[in-house]
Structure 1
Amino acid sequence: MARMTAHGVDFRSVRAEFALEEEFSAAVLAEVAAAEDAWLGERADRTALPLVTIDPPGSMDLDQALHLERTASGFVLHYAIADVGAVIRPGGALDLAARERGQTVYLPDGSVPLHPRPLSEGSASLLPDTIRPAALWRIELDHDAHPVEASVVRALVRSVARFDYATVQADSRSGTLHPSIAALPEFGRLRAAAALDRGAIELRLPEQRVVADGDGWRVEIEPRTEADDWNAEVSLLTGMCAARMMLDAGVGVLRTMPAAAPSAVESLRRTADALGVAWTDGAGVGAVLAGLDPNTAASLVMMTEATTLLRGADYVAFDGEIPDAVGHSGIGGPYAHVTAPLRRLSDRFAAEVCLAVSAGVAVPDWVRAALPSLPALMRTSDFRAGRVDRACVDLTEATLLAGRVGEVFDATVLRASNGRRGAEVFVPAVSVIAKCTGDPGEGDEVKVRLTQADVVGRSVQFAFPA
């Protein structure tokens, strides 16, 4: 089937519905224009370290740059994170605006940034061939890529090259990776193996995204390469080291997720049995999911059902007594957001805690004062960002299929109807995931008829049998 394009999609309605304002006040912009590095003159000079960045094509808000070295004892990772805390005055107009926004919200036609673009895409971004202030992590790892020692300091750094995931993937295949990331494939695979040992659960569902297509838009399944996974392991490792550092110090903010309910695990086992998916005795959920061929219908169904295991994501702040629940079941241990401060509020404060702990000095009072409010701020912004993303996909899907009600499509049944909810199907020809009436069997390849494509209501529905 020819590729379909949705014309006339206007995401301004989504921006208006969720009160997303791109512009900042004059007071905020004045602070950005006058911002100076509060630690200038006290930073370690690490500009000779050949760091590189790996980001989606066209990204300008570059939070991270890395250098990974294979050593006689294992690996040494240097990971530079934009030092946003050094240029934002606590309690100032920019600080308050960032707390109100919580995070950058991404829409197909552009983002609504956490910070003004002159900062997030300019003076604080780790753009290539520019000297920037950074929180520079140094993590030593053994031969199995298990962390042995971690520290973080304020430094001046310079990125020497920027890559996207497709380029890193292609260079890995051709054996021409940049020397600074030549060890990344080995590191990434070892860290992925360690994640399974920890009981981590990674879902590989088809993730939808809306992309420009000429003068319109289309929905596609976001491509994911091994390079995405390798790079993600760098961030996950740093977040786990940060969490350990904060827990040892008794102060900080963590990203948490409770363990999966036994009933959810049992339901997934029943799904595996029904689909003929092997689940050997003693195998963890993460290992079973990792062993699936992502291109089969059974795998799509298993991954969809496994989303019920990863619920209840939250944030917890502490200063003194350690909370009872500090783990993240999806990652298999304590974890903290520290690697995206240009795009996420909590990372700035968590980074300040780690910098102080690593330096052996007191955590700043302004950081401690902010910690109790961070979980609620991040919950609110996460919820809003998720709803915005879903609204953009739903609007594009409905516009894409408007005028095609009554047509029949091939589909894979991701979820069967269970009385409380209707069935859910994936229609690969248009990369649409939608509700479906009737009672198709989970995992079946079926034909469904489009019965609804409501642009105003942003809803699509199919029916089985067609």
Structure 2
Amino acid sequence: MPHRPVSLHAPRGSVAADVIREGIDALLAEDAQDVPLEFPAEALAEAERAAACELAADDRTDRTAVPFVTLDPATSTDLDQAMHLERTQDGYRVLYAIADVPWFVGLDGALDREARRRGETVYLPDRRIPLHPEKLSEGVASLLPGQITPAFVWVLDLDPDGAVRAVDLERSRVRSIRKLAYEQVQEDLDRGAGHPTMILLQEIGALRAAQEIARGGASLNVPEQEVVADGDLVRLTWRRPVPIEDANAQISLMTGMAAAELMLAHGAGILRTLPPARGQAIDRFRRQADVLGVPWPADRAYGAFLRDLDWHEPAHLALLNHATALFRGASYAAFTSPEEVPADPAQAAVAAPYAHTTAPLRRLVDRFVLLVCHAHARGHRPAPELLAALGEIPDAMRTTGARAGNLERLALDLVETSALATWEGEIFSATVIDRREASGAPTRVEVQLTEPPVTAWVAMDAAPGDVVRVMLESVDPERSRALFVPAQEEAA
């Protein structure tokens, strides 16, 4: 008996996964010379050789008895970090294992050259373009449970308030015992259970968040757009990070700050930089807060104020979008002597010196920061070839980061317009998050729809924080364009 043909039924707001694949294939074909898709044969061969090398035990501390766990999205397999947290007599001890990518990727080899060309792993709705061959990034170099893996282990001793009082960094052999996922961990914690390390992570994360506010740092509490796979379909939805993700981010942030201080103390390294917000921008943000009816109290720290905002509230959502304009111009600064240290090494949003050091499987710069920090921690001058390479990394990160960001935006535009095609002609409520007025051109506002979760510019006039109604007049998925217009009652 012949099989019935398979039908692909896409519900409203969803689009068949193969349509997305075809569209992203076309994007990558247009951008083929800029985005490396395949690894050169010599890089793959080098990865195979590195993966086959036996990990010697005599030149590393043995941390395989420590019950490390990882915490990531449920589907992740490129696991950069594992942690073990302990309560001590006078505070806490954080053991933070970071994948030892430099053990597999030597300086100036084929893998290193290809990693510098790629810069970072690119995440697209239906695929990822990895920084390293999957044999490494999702295999022997990943901190997968049950696998003995080379790692850098940060040893961070904290006082009872969560402040760091001692730092060390060692190269070790580790073995994660369990892969934990954000949502399940949060569910367990919410019902009063959970892994012991996760319970401590929640506690330390809250202390570190208080430290962030006290020093004037800030984290934006905004939802994320997420493309969700549903069998052969994908759909666009909101995802708000669960609280344990913020705690996890605080551990990574703390480690990056420790790395920065270590490099500054020894006069060589690479910092993540961000200039402070200009006074004019801060004054404008205060006025915007007043206009939206959510005044920023003079005695309230910026970070604490942002944490109080709830994106479900239209005025708060508009203000959170305005807040992103305060801190722009993120970059990297390399230095090989105290004389080359930036005049103001603090990263403005962190409100402290900061370095990327916790994601070497997915980001080029972290590998170099780890090597430099390990040399400093052991009391050695970093190798001359490592110091010589530092100056090349900031440009590589800037170039590849801009390329990756552009591709990710184009891919998300494709998903948005493909999903919106089923809503053509419908009317939506939306929150105004920005307003633009230009000479000789109609006033436009940027609106945020709640469902489906997309933003759009509309030729109309309204104030940020207003809730308006707009109609989706037309959609052109091939050009990734969707035209919204004021609904008739708004136009009237």
- Normalising by structure 2, what TM-score? 0.91
* Cα distance in structure 2, aligned partners of 1:293 and 1:180: 29
* Cα distance in structure 2, aligned partners of 1:45 and 1:403: 57
CA RMSD of superposed structures (Å): 1.7
Say which of 13, 17, 34 aligns to 2:30: 17
Residue pair 2:221, 2:310 contacting (<8 A) in 1 also: no
1:262 corresponds in structure 2 to 279
Give the counterpart letter for 1:25 in structure 2: P
Say which of 135, 139, 149 aligns to 2:156: 139
Alignment of 1:146-161 (within 5 A): 146-161=163-178
* Cα distance in structure 2, aligned partners of 1:392 and 1:216: 16
* Cα distance in structure 2, aligned partners of 1:214 and 1:379: 36
SS state of the match for residue 14, structure 2? coil
1:395 corresponds in structure 2 to 414
Give the counterpart letter for 1:119 in structure 2: L
What whole-Å deviation, never above 9, does each CA across 1:112-145 have from its counterpart, x for those lacking one? Answer: 1000000110010000011110000000001110
* Cα distance in structure 1, aligned partners of 2:145 and 2:232: 32
Give the counterpart letter for 1:28 in structure 2: A
Give the counterpart letter for 2:459 in structure 1: T
Give the counterpart letter for 2:478 in structure 1: V
1:30 corresponds in structure 2 to 45
* Cα distance in structure 2, aligned partners of 1:407 and 1:284: 42
Structure 1 residues 411-420 or 244-253, which shifts more? 411-420
1:445 corresponds in structure 2 to 467
SS state of the match for residue 478, structure 2? coil
Alignment of 1:213-224 (within 5 A): 213-224=230-241
* Cα distance in structure 2, aligned partners of 1:441 and 1:90: 54
2:389 corresponds in structure 1 to 370
1:178 corresponds in structure 2 to 195
Residue pair 1:219, 1:393 contacting (<8 A) in 2 also: no
* Cα distance in structure 2, aligned partners of 1:319 and 1:192: 32
- Residue ranges of structure 2 left out of the alignment (5+ in a row): 1-10
SS state of the match for residue 265, structure 2? helix
* Cα distance in structure 2, aligned partners of 1:387 and 1:463: 26
Structure 1 residues 445-454 or 73-82, which shifts more? 445-454
SS state of the match for residue 415, structure 2? helix
Deviation at 1:173, TM superposition (A): 1.5
* Cα distance in structure 1, aligned partners of 2:233 and 2:264: 49
Structure 1 residues 53-62 or 318-327, which shifts more? 318-327
Say which of 438, 444, 451 aligns to 1:419: 438
SS state of the match for residue 132, structure 1? strand
Structure 1 residues 21-30 or 244-253, which shifts more? 21-30
SS state of the match for residue 185, structure 1? helix
Deviation at 1:418, TM superposition (A): 3.6
Deviation at 1:23, TM superposition (A): 2.1
Say which of 70, 73, 76 aligns to 1:56: 73
What whole-Å deviation, never above 9, does each CA across 1:343-395 have from its counterpart, x for those lacking one? Answer: 00000000000100001112122211111111110011211221122111110
Give the counterpart letter for 1:32 in structure 2: A
* Cα distance in structure 1, aligned partners of 2:459 and 2:31: 30
2:483 paired with 1:461: yes
* Cα distance in structure 1, aligned partners of 2:180 and 2:299: 40
Residue pair 1:15, 1:21 contacting (<8 A) in 2 also: no
* Cα distance in structure 2, aligned partners of 1:269 and 1:383: 30
Deviation at 1:195, TM superposition (A): 0.6
Deviation at 1:283, TM superposition (A): 2.2
1:5 corresponds in structure 2 to 14
Deviation at 1:331, TM superposition (A): 0.9
Alignment of 1:71-110 (within 5 A): 71-110=88-127
Give the counterpart letter for 1:369 in structure 2: A
Runs of 4+ in 1 over 4 A off after TM superposition: 37-40
1:429 corresponds in structure 2 to 451
Give the counterpart letter for 2:15 in structure 1: A
- Residue ranges of structure 1 left out of the alignment (5+ in a row): none
* Cα distance in structure 2, aligned partners of 1:114 and 1:78: 26
Residue pair 1:6, 1:216 contacting (<8 A) in 2 also: yes
Residue pair 2:434, 2:446 contacting (<8 A) in 1 also: yes
1:313 corresponds in structure 2 to 330
Deviation at 1:432, TM superposition (A): 1.0
2:371 paired with 1:352: yes
Which of these two proteins has the greater Rg computed from alpha carbons? 2
* Cα distance in structure 2, aligned partners of 1:403 and 1:32: 45
What whole-Å deviation, never above 9, does each CA across 1:143-162 have from its counterpart, x for those lacking one? Answer: 11000011100000010111
Deviation at 1:275, TM superposition (A): 1.5
Residue pair 1:52, 1:162 contacting (<8 A) in 2 also: yes
2:349 corresponds in structure 1 to 330
* Cα distance in structure 1, aligned partners of 2:56 and 2:100: 10
Deviation at 1:103, TM superposition (A): 0.6
Deviation at 1:403, TM superposition (A): 5.8
* Cα distance in structure 2, aligned partners of 1:136 and 1:214: 39
* Cα distance in structure 1, aligned partners of 2:261 and 2:218: 20
Check 1:403–1:290 CA distance in 2 against 1; reply closer, same or farther (3 A cut): closer
Residue pair 1:38, 1:86 contacting (<8 A) in 2 also: no
2:130 paired with 1:113: yes
Residue pair 1:208, 1:393 contacting (<8 A) in 2 also: no
* Cα distance in structure 2, aligned partners of 1:392 and 1:88: 30
Structure 1 residues 156-165 or 379-388, which shifts more? 379-388
Check 1:383–1:458 CA distance in 2 against 1; reply closer, same or farther (3 A cut): same
Give the counterpart letter for 2:40 in structure 1: S
* Cα distance in structure 2, aligned partners of 1:258 and 1:119: 35
What whole-Å deviation, never above 9, does each CA across 1:379-430 have from its counterpart, x for those lacking one? Answer: 1121122112211111011112226443211111111234388311111121
1:195 corresponds in structure 2 to 212
2:3 corresponds in structure 1 to none
Say which of 393, 399, 405 aligns to 1:380: 399
Deviation at 1:205, TM superposition (A): 2.6
Aligned length: 465
* Cα distance in structure 1, aligned partners of 2:300 and 2:273: 24
